[in-house]
Amino acid sequence: LSANGHVSSALVHDCKITAICYSPNNRKLAACGMDRVVRLFNDQGEPVDKFSTKPADKGPKTYVVKAMHFSPDSTKLAIAQSDNIVFVYKLGLEWGDKKSICNKFL
């Protein structure tokens, strides 16, 4: 769903979307499905980037992403998971910047 209300065909997944949020600067949309992959879209609803989330512990991936929230400056994304952890990912200022975990809360 873009800022103008149109649904992007890139949002169609083979799985259910479990969390979605807009950035405070209204330039990014983050969506995550049961596949635990965060897809990032620009303000036109076009897919621009994606990254896989990480489990709290090594082993089988049985968790679900329950919620996401951008930082006030839109450069970080907090992701709450059903395995009782919140990871904060640094997204960077530009599309394509390396995504990395910069904090975690148990």
Q: Convert the pLDDT of each residue in 23-47 to its tens digit.
A: 999 999 999 999 999 999 999 999 9
Q: Which residues of 66-96 are buried (b: 16+ CB within 10 A; e: fewer)?
A: eebbbeeebbbbbbbbebebbbbbebeeeee
pLDDT exceeds 70 at position 98: yes
Please give the model's pTM, rounded to 2 decimal places. Answer: 0.86
Q: What is the pLDDT of residue 14?
A: 66
Q: What is the mean pLDDT of residues 70-89?
A: 97
pLDDT at 4 over 70: no
In sequence order, what are the residues at sequence separation of 6 or more whose Cβ sits closer than 8 angstroms to the Cβ of residue 37?
50, 51, 52, 53
pLDDT, average across residues 62-70: 97
Angle, CA 71 vertex, CA 75 and CA 76 arms, to 5°: 35
The amino acid occupying position 78 is: A
